[in-house]
Amino acid sequence: MVIINEWGGYLSYPRTESTGYPKSFEIATTLAQQTHHPSWGSFVTELLEAGFTKPKGGVDAGDHPPITPCRAASPGELHGNEAQIYELVTRHFIATVSPDALFLQTKVSASVGGEIFLLSGKELLEPGWLAATRSFKPNEQTRFPRFAAGDEFDLCKGQIQLRDGWTQPPGYLTESDLIGLMEEHGVGTDASIPSHIKNICDRNYVTTETGRTLVPTQLGIVLVQGYHRIDPDLVLPKVPSTETTGFNIDWPF
Q: Annotated active-site positions, please?
A: 13
Integer Cα distance of 70 and 47 in angstroms: 18
Buried b (16+ CB within 10 A) or exposed e, 33-46: ebbebeebeebbee
| CA–CA–CA angle 80, 86, 90 (5° rounding) | 150
Integer Cα distance of 72 and 8 in angstroms: 11
Angle formed by the axes of helices 80-96 and 41-50, nearest 10°:
20
Backbone angles phi, psi at 111, to 5 degrees: -100, 120
